[in-house]
Amino acid sequence: MRFKPKPLKSDVKFECKFCLDCCRGRFIYLTLHDIKNIMRRGHDPQDFILLTAEEGKIRFVLAYREWDLGCVFHDPETGKCKIHDYNPLICQIYPFMVSYKPLGIEGEEPFEYNGEKLWLYYDESCPGIGEGKEVITREEVAELGVRFHKEFEKTDLEGLNSLLNGENNGT
């Protein structure tokens, strides 16, 4: 499933329907902080990290099952995430996304957050948008998005090597 971005112009209700669409058939980017968090709970990095190259940079993404392209941490029986309490930041942000520049979509406008201009979006293909009682604020989305971008920037192969060698304590 592709992210179909729509501008997030106000706070919005959201309730996950466990349809699995966001946990299958897409790259779920990992930061060093995510990797460390997951390893700490006893998961072997060889079982959940894949490497990919993008614009000359090595990126880390969650491994997926061959038979349905689902994330290795998705439980096909319950439809839920097996690592929900410590899942990657990008999973916590979804079905929202934060960009430091506009995507060129009709109706988008900048959102000021801590002195920065951000562009916030939601995925219109997620059936949980507008559902349930919980309200997600734009501040919450912006905070997670900024945190993800900062962590993602300092995520590289060198950092992963240090982490695997037990040298990295600062992520």
- Least Å from the CB of residue 34 to ligand SF4: 9
62 contributes a contact to ligand SF4 by CB under 6 A: yes
Please give, one letter per residue, the 3-state secondary structure of the chain.
Answer: CCCCEEECCCCEEECCCCCCHHHECCCCEECHHHHHHHHHCCCCHHHHEEEEEECCEEEEEECECCCCCEECCECCCCCCECCHHHCCHHHHHCCEEEECCCCCCCCCCCEEECCEEEEEEEECCCCCECCCCCEECHHHHHHHHHHHHHHHHCCCHHHHHHHHCCCCCCC
Nearer to ligand SF4, 4 or 17 (CB): 17
61 contributes a contact to ligand SF4 by CB under 6 A: no
28 contributes a contact to ligand SF4 by CB under 6 A: yes
Number of residues lying near ligand SF4 (CB under 6 A): 23
Interaction mask 125-164, ligand SF4, x per CB under 6 A: -xxx------------------------------------
97 contributes a contact to ligand SF4 by CB under 6 A: no
CB 1 within 8 A of CB 140: no
3 contributes a contact to ligand SF4 by CB under 6 A: no
Contact pick of 18, 140, 149, 164 for ligand SF4 (by CB under 6 A): 18
The residues that touch ligand SF4, with contacts defined as CB under 6 A, are 16-23, 28, 62, 71, 73-74, 81, 83, 87-88, 91, 94-95, 126-128
